[in-house]
Amino acid sequence: MKALALFLGGLAACWGMFAGCASAQVQAQAQPVDVLHWWTSTSERRAANQLSAYLGANGVQWRDAAIPGGGGMAAVKVLKSRVLMGDPPDVAQLIGTTLTEWADVGLVLPLNGVATRQRWAQNMFPTVMELVSYQGEVIAAPLGIHRINTILFNRRAFARAGLQPPKTWAEFELAARKLQTLGIKPLAWSDEPWQIATVFESVLLGEAGPALYRELIVQRKSSAWMDPRVERALNRLRWLRSINGDTPREQTWTDAARELLVGNVAMMIMGDWAKGELMAWGASPGKDFGCVVVPGTENMHLYSIDTLAMLVNSRHREATQEKVAELVSSLPAQMAYNRIKGSVPVHRDIDVSSLDSCARDSWDTFADPRSARVPSLAHRMAADESIKDAVAQILWRYVTDPRMEVADAQRRLAAVIRAPGAER
């Protein structure tokens, strides 16, 4: 990988230095940019189309290289293999710690010029800037902030049961029992490992609180994983999987959201891209469904921030890539894109009255200095792909194999979650 990076880095270095490179760039600007991403559900597709139309109106053609698969499991593999084959896309949905790893080996085009011109440091949230900065360089264009600790609930189902959405686990348990007696499944569930991990980290944040969550997920202190609060979260996870009283199965997050839409299930714990999907299907927050936070996570924002990285390649598109970064991170593009995607803009100064109620709560919480903002492990904000996958696999084993003791799961998690920089 290093040799390849040096080779690609060398190509990037010619940018702006030689006349030959400059003229190649002029030619290249007319060419479409190849964009690799995993936004293929109805709302994701529409959000990507919105960006592509915005770029188009500003003279940049978007050539779509979408790879389906929730959570980007397949897209990340394809992206890696394209880079190894020496054919990286111009633009890629590269998020979280993967960004810094790739920047480290010179695969990502620095965007300092754009960031300075557009005053990103002044206009965007500090947490966002931290995520896209590495060793003094800005390495990606931020698009939007998703909130993971979200429960979406079907308003009709709750009204039929005469219930308010739950604020505590005790209320959640009561609601689950009542819903069941009415023949409504309490919670949308999927055994896909990344979806299990998505539910788990929200539950963990609620049980552990932000300080322990940071020790577990950010500092990755192995010993902290034996804490009784982790045990409680793991017990809660198994319980959540069991409350429908049926045999849980693997299903896509969009199929799970569909069950919520039609009212077969009453709740779903998922990042707020699921809200975007419900809206794309014609449902409206406030009328058809609502959002509350996972019990115990009030004033906490478990975030996943989508970013586009500009990859170093031999096609001399640097000027166009910078233009892409500038356009997608601009306020008008962000407002339009995030409304469809379910996330919220990364800008600090926006008109919140134009946001839907779920988005407003997400944005307000993220913006409030008194809130706890914590990164998602399941969505690559806190650890690399291999740790994330190992955690998701252990959680999957744990929930699907009733013989696995909770303490055994804790030990296994402690073993795979090593402190940044620790020997593996």
- Between the CA of residue 387 and those of 133, 220, 258, 326, 417, what are the distances in Å? 22, 11, 30, 32, 6
Q: How many CB atoms lie within 10 A of CB 65?
A: 18
Q: Which amino acid is at 312?
A: V
Residues 382-421 within binding reach of ligand GAL (CB under 6 A): none
Nearer to ligand GAL, 144 or 166 (CB): 144
Contacts with ligand GAL by CB under 6 A: the residue count is 12
Stretch that binds ligand GAL, among 65-73, 101-109, 224-232, 406-414 (CB under 6 A): 65-73
- Span 201-260, contacts to ligand GAL by CB under 6 A: none
Structure tokens at 376: 């998602």
Q: Which stretch binds ligand GAL (CB under 6 A): 69-77, 156-164, 215-223, 413-421?
A: 69-77
Binding residue (CB under 6 A) for ligand GAL from 120, 200, 225, 273:
273
Binding mask 10-49 for ligand GAL (x = CB under 6 A): ----------------------------xx----x-----
- Residues sharing a CB contact under 8 Å with residue 298, sequence separation 6 or more, in sequence order: 167
Q: What are phi and psi of 175, to 5 degrees?
A: -60, -45
Instruction: Considering only the stretches 68-76, 175-183, 277-285, 385-393, report the one whose residues sit in contact with ligand GAL under the rule CB under 6 A.
Output: 68-76
Two tokens at 94?
């590269």
Which residue of 82, 146, 155, 316 would you call a contact of ligand GAL, by CB under 6 A?
146
Interaction between residue 72 and ligand GAL (CB under 6 A)? yes
Cα 183 from Cα 350, distance rounded (Å): 43
Rounded CA gap, 229 and 209, in Å?
Answer: 9
Check binding of 306 to ligand GAL (CB under 6 A).
yes
Instruction: Tell me whether residue 34 or residue 44 sits nearer to ligand GAL (CB atom).
Output: 44
Distance of CA 385 to the CA centre of its chain: 13
Q: Using the rule CB under 6 A, is 304 a contact of ligand GAL? A: yes
Helix (H) or strand (E) holding 339: helix 331-341
**Cβ contact 223:419 at 8 Å:** no
Nearer Cβ to ligand GAL (165/271): 271
Contact residues toward ligand GAL (CB under 6 A) are: 38-39, 44, 70-72, 146, 271, 273, 304, 306, 379
